[in-house]
Structure 1
Amino acid sequence: MVLLPKVLTRKKPDIAEGFSESPVFMTSFVLLLLMCNDIFYGKILGHLRRATVGQHPGSNSQLAHDHDRWESGHVALSETQSYANCNICLTSLKEKNVLSLVVMKPVAEHIYKYGLSSLDMWMRCMECILHISYNMDFKKWATRGQDKLLQKTRKELTQVVLFQQTGLLADIMKQGFSTSNDGNTARKFFRDFEKSAEIIGVDVDLINIFAFILQTITSQHNINVENFKIYCRETAELYVVLYPWSYVPSSVHKLLMHGAEIGQHVTFIPIGMMSKETFPKNW
């Protein structure tokens, strides 16, 4: 029997008595583009190639967060009632695979300004693919009764084989840190998409297409938004044809159905520039 190595958590520094870090929320402002708007001499004065905060450190102040300050890739102050619902078109979980209905829904264009977190998209797309694999034996979204045992067995087997053949620790629960999924894990998972597909049993073309889309939104180059929109919509169609029983998660839905519009909304810098990137493991 092969066991996965124990995932260790970082030791937290000593905290003064009576002080808790739980309400602390940190955000950062990074100068991406400096432009001169003079009618005769308008030009770009300077820009950063990468927006990674760790590469451009500065001072920070700590504030206890509340509802008025909180921002999330899922709800983003949009008053969305459920994480399962899209905060742009308000499509519910069970409606997301009905693409003819999704494209007819009105959208809240003011949400586009919150952008796309490319790091979040790498992880959420990998988790989406993995969760399809876990439920392949019974082909249902919800797990009840005997299905839970089937899901657990397949998940554990998938995790062991992934670690044996690729060295990836995917979807391993970590105390206080959610799961072991991070940007580096997701990038390696999609980079070797053929091996990943062989191990988990999900369509290799779908994984390859996801990898291409994710590389595009982190390319930091200007892209043809209309072509990107068509490509993402065709990917969504392929997804629902292959796995109609697996509802598209909110983050993946946002990427495939609204990613092009979000990228088009911020026209003065290339898509991917407004999102943090992954750090190398030895950072």
Structure 2
Amino acid sequence: MMVDIYYNLSFKTWSAISEEKKRRKQEKKTMVQKRFCDELALIIDQPRQVSGNTNDGNTARRSLYNATCSAEITGVDMNLITRFYIILQALSSGVMINTEKFGSYVMETTRIYVSNYEW
């Protein structure tokens, strides 16, 4: 999700329909893939031979854990990246959580997300 925001940040729409937007999106994708590989040793958004792509839970966890670097690479709000990391950790922890507080936290994260990236 974080890289999808970055890919389309310059034209602020969820789809790149025109050839110009497709070209810009591909340039950004290439750059962000290189930086994640160089700076965090992560291979992101690459197809796998068997099925799917390299965007799995471990990749998400490592990129979100390094919120400062990920924010610098993508331009996505660091607070939002940190909140995504906390949500991922809570959901995958197996520990009992206060669902009311967690729901409030998720809703506040949603509000931040929508206010920053309403497109």
- For the aligned pair, the TM-score class normalised by the smaller chain equals over 0.9
Task: Flag structure 1 segments of 5+ consecutive residues without an equivalent.
Answer: 1-127, 246-283
Give the match for residue 57 of structure 2. Answer: 183
2:111 partner SS: helix
For these two proteins, the number of residue pairs brought into alignment is: 118
CA distance in 2, matches of 1:150, 1:162: 18
Q: Which runs of 4+ in 1 moved over 4 A?
A: none
2:9 to 136, 158, 168: 136
CA distance in 2, matches of 1:210, 1:183: 12
Structure 2: which amino acid aligns with 1:166?
A: L
- 2:103 maps to 1:229: yes
- Percentage identity across aligned positions? 37
- Which protein is richer in helix relative to its size? 2
- Which protein is richer in strand relative to its size? 1
Equivalences for residues 186-265 of structure 1 within 5 A? 186-245=60-119
Structure 1: which amino acid aligns with 2:93?
A: S
CA distance in 2, matches of 1:188, 1:244: 26
Task: Give the alignment's Cα RMSD to 1 decimal.
Answer: 1.0
Name the TM-score, length of structure 2 as normaliser. 0.94
2:42 partner SS: coil
1:157 to 19, 31, 42: 31
Task: Flag structure 2 segments of 5+ consecutive residues without an equivalent.
Answer: none
8 A Cα contact 2:61 2:88, kept in partner? no
2:49 partner SS: coil
CA distance in 2, matches of 1:199, 1:131: 13
Equivalences for residues 16-165 of structure 1 within 5 A? 128-145=1-18, 146-165=20-39
Name the TM-score, length of structure 1 as normaliser. 0.41
**What's the CA shift string for 1:131-162, capped at 9, x where partnerless?**
00000111111211111111010001100111
